[in-house]
Amino acid sequence: MTINAHIAANLTEIRSRIARAAHEHGRGPHDVTLVAVSKTHPADAVAAAINAGQLVFGENRVQEAQAKFPDLKAAHPTLELHLIGPLQSNKVREAVALFDVIETLDREKLARALADEMEKQKRRPALFIQVNTGEEPQKAGINPSAVDDFVKLCHDELQLPVIGLMCIPPHHQHPAPHFALLREMARRNGFGCLSMGMSGDYETAIAFGATHVRIGTAIFGQR
């Protein structure tokens, strides 16, 4: 099987499972956006996914995305690129210029840097606040107890275009309680978007209201 056929078949299967999971919980298939995580995969693999109708992609690193996506975005103007990995403050200028959505807003310094850069570039990528639902010391994200105050800072003072919350549950714990926690924090703060769920747990995430699922391995295979 060619790479095009393999990726197309994987996308067909995943879309079917997303639609089935959404239907089981009273939602439509278009209520869930599939973010194809193309990190470490070559531009040819991304092109194969585009040929199969996929136009929303996620990358972990600004530098890798810069090498891969400008030509693809020029050729496909409706392509939407999400940053799903940590954003260093010294990469904010490049990130604002390239990405359409930044899912990893996780600290005040970064929020202020994004606000300044968006003003300079007159470009406003949508933002998700990353929440460290497991309060893991080695993981990025705002602790749950600080989310409400951080949302107020981002909205009221900095007027950032925050549209939702994102989380990556601890790999050794069942994800459902973490998805439920993120859903409650989003509801409390008036957000309609929830980025949660990856290749191994996206159907569970959809059951808890995910609007964006980030899937890489099940589409592109092992890296």
pLDDT at residue 183 in the model: 98
pLDDT at residue 115 in the model: 98
Non-local CB neighbours of 40 within 8 Å, separated by 6+ positions: 64, 223
- Rounded Cα distance, 209 and 206, in Å: 5
Q: Are 11 and 52 in contact (CB under 8 A)?
A: yes
Positive or negative, the Cα torsion across 79, 31, 184, 174?
A: negative
H helices present in the chain, as ranges: 3-24, 43-51, 62-75, 92-98, 108-121, 147-152, 176-188, 202-207, 217-220
pTM for the whole thing? 0.97
pLDDT at residue 3 in the model: 84
Non-local CB neighbours of 137 within 8 Å, separated by 6+ positions: none
Q: Are 41 and 215 in contact (CB under 8 A)?
A: no
| Run means of pLDDT, 10 residues per run, the chain, 223 residues | 91 98 96 97 96 98 97 97 97 98 98 98 98 96 98 98 98 96 98 97 98 97 80
pLDDT at residue 68 in the model: 96
